[in-house]
Structure 1
Amino acid sequence: MILTVTLNTALDVTYRLPEVRRHGSNRVREVTRQAGGKGVNVARVLAALGQEAVVTGLAGGATGRAVRADLAAAGLHDELVEVAGETRCTVAVAEDTDTTVYLEPGPVVSAAEWQHFLAHYERLLPGAAVAVLSGSLPRGLPDDAYLLLVERAGAHGVPALLDADGPALLHGLPAGPAVVKPNIDELAAATGVQDPLEGAELLRAAGAGAVVASLGPDGLLACTADGRWRARPPGPLPGNPTGAGDSAVAALALGLATGTAWPDRLRQAVALSAATVLAPRAGRFDAGAYDRLLSLIRVGEIEPAHPQGEPCP
């Protein structure tokens, strides 16, 4: 079982229309609503791949009830912990050529609610092969929330995959997550350097076992104890990129659980991410495109710039 943690769950609302008229009225062609938050998207993708996934995190209020109802309708295993505050909504405005996303901050979580979640999380860990820790922290949680979750996973022998940014990412690194997955902008913000390979090595030096950086349409870069690789899709794909990074995380988590070699793990992550761009909603992917893309992903090893045999800094 792969345990996905979404501390700041959401009800994802997507408006689709051909083109937004700025400063004017817009008629929406289609509206969809579904349970969201990065870890929920990861669980949805894992379930579509035939893997057992459990969703935990925090949810509250009428929006939280809508999230849980959608999880039940999708057949996802719901282990969310209820809080008093109202779960947030996110709104994606998807045009034919672009997508704009609006993210509400989420509820304020009390210290007692956080302690209750930690106890619940510890009860779930013994059955997990991997713990996926994804997304922003709701208000009220400490900056080192992910450090505590990585540490507790490690105490149960469960590797953690951390997908966060800013202070939440940086505070989690000393606990030694097995994999962290920033995107290129998050990597630059966290390290203060623009070169993604240099930035990835800095995060490894700070405690991450491996760093996989999303380069958007240019694929993934990985710095690991076993080597460094670039994985590239065959070319840019039109569609909605929302959720593509979460699909990559799902593939990386599955690879971590099964011990798949890094080149194959990255190939699957890029193919699944690209197939998600071709699907209309986060947490979904075009299965036919995924199968076709797997053989088209180019994975190349990056030669080290330091003496052979030394690990990445």
Structure 2
Amino acid sequence: MIFTLTMNPCLDRYLYVDKLVLDDTIRVKNVVDYPAGKGIDVSRVIKELGGVSVAISLLGGETGRRIEEMLDKEGVIYSTIRVEVETRTNIIMETKEGQYRFSMPGEKISKKKLQVILEVLNAIVREGDVIIISGSLPKGVSPDFYTGIIFALKQWGVYVYFDADGEKLKAGLLGNPDVIKPNEHEFQRLVGKKLKSLEDFKVEGKKILKRFNLKEILLTLGGKGAMLVSEDECYYAKPLDVEVKSAVGAGDSFLAAYVLKRELGRKEAFRWANAAGTAAVMTPGTELCKKEDVIDLLNMVEISEI
């Protein structure tokens, strides 16, 4: 079974306006809400692609219930850990000039609820299962929380994919996950330097693999494509030329497709991941990839070995 863990979920409220005008009334033309948070997004994509997963997340208040209702409507299976605070709402404003994103910090979660997360994982996740842990942490939670969670899951024989940034990524790596999925900027922050070429990313990727005993690194490079680095293989996928409507959720779509299709082999899963990531940028707002677009793009993905 595939599980996802979202520690800091949110409701994404997408506002469409013509333009921002200082000291004037701005008319909102349309409002669309989406259930969000990186792990939740991964579960939604897995469902869209015909797979099954369980989205574990901390939800509270009316916003939390609204997210549950939206997941119900999409047919996503979830396990909620109810918290006393209201789940945050992020605002994404789309204008003719571009997109503005306002990310809210959320409220503090009690230590008791943090302990419940470990108890829930222990109750429902079994040896041989797969879990994707991704995204930010609630206010006041130390990055070391990810170290402990990942270490425990590994002790239970669970295969762990991890997607985070900065100190959270560094802390999580100490828990010994199996796979990480940084983007270009996150990976450069991890290694502490700018990388100019694909060969640079490969070399540094091999070092990180060895240092943290990873099995794979999935590296998304935005408009420059994507890479997969393992001990004995390194694949590169060229970017596909499509109309970009919104890059939100592309990395989550990429990761979801890879995990779902991993049983087909590393290279084929990487092909699906690139098709899904590309399909996600073709959708507006914080919509994720659509299955029909992924299928259409599959044969267009060009993969080479570095």
- TM-score (norm. length: structure 2): 0.91
In the TM superposition, 1:98-177 aligns within 5 A as 98-126=98-126, 129-177=129-177
User: Share of identical aligned residues, percent?
Assistant: 28
Following superposition, the deviation at residue 114 of structure 1 comes to 0.5
Task: Give the letter for the 1:164 counterpart.
Answer: A
Aligned partner letter, 2:145? A
The match for 1:203 is: 208
Aligned counterparts of 1:193 and 1:38: Cα–Cα separation in 2: 26
Choose from 247, 271, 280 the match for 1:276. 280
> Which amino acid is the alignment partner of residue 296 of structure 2?
R
> How far did 1:236 drift?
4.8
Q: Distance in 1 between matches of 2:97 and 2:134?
A: 27
Match of 1:220 in 2: 226
- The two structures, once aligned, show a CA RMSD in angstroms of 2.0
1:174 and 1:206 in contact (8 A); partners too: no
1:143-193 deviation per Cα after TM superposition (whole angstroms, max 9, x unaligned): 122222222222222211101011111011122211101111111122212
Question: Are 1:244 and 2:250 matched, yes or no?
Answer: yes
Deviation at 1:267, TM superposition (A): 1.3
Give the direction of change, closer, same or farther, for the CA distance of 1:32–1:128 in structure 2 (3 Å limit).
Answer: farther
Deviation at 1:201, TM superposition (A): 3.2
User: One-letter code of the match for 2:113?
Assistant: E
- State the aligned residue count: 300
Deviation (angstroms), 1:16: 2.3
- CA distance in 1 between counterparts of 2:291 and 2:76 reads 19
Q: What secondary structure does 1:206 align onto?
A: helix
For residues 222 and 20 of structure 1, the distance between their equivalents in structure 2, rounded to whole angstroms, comes to 40
CA distance in 2, matches of 1:275, 1:96: 22
Deviation of 1:218 (Å): 1.9
Once the two structures are superposed, the pairs formed by residues 285-296 of structure 1 within 5 Å of their partners are: 285-296=289-300
Q: Which shows bigger deviation, 109-118 or 198-207?
A: 198-207
Superposed CA deviations along residues 218-242 of structure 1, whole A, max 9, x for unmatched, are 2211211231111123325321111
Gaps of 5+ in 1: 303-313
Q: CA deviation at 1:263?
A: 2.0
SS at match of 1:282: coil
Query: SS in structure 1 opposite 2:125?
Result: helix
1:63-119 deviations in Å (ceiling 9; x for gaps): 222222222222221202011122111111234563222111122012111011110
CA offset digits 1:212-268 (Å, max 9, x no partner)? 111112221121123111112332532111111110110121134x2x322212111
Given the two structures, how large is their TM-score scaled by the length of structure 1? 0.89
CA contact 1:132–1:160 (8 Å) conserved in 2: yes
Which consecutive unaligned segments of at least 5 residues does structure 2 have? 196-200
Equivalent residue letter for 2:44: R
The letter for the 2-side match of 1:247 is S
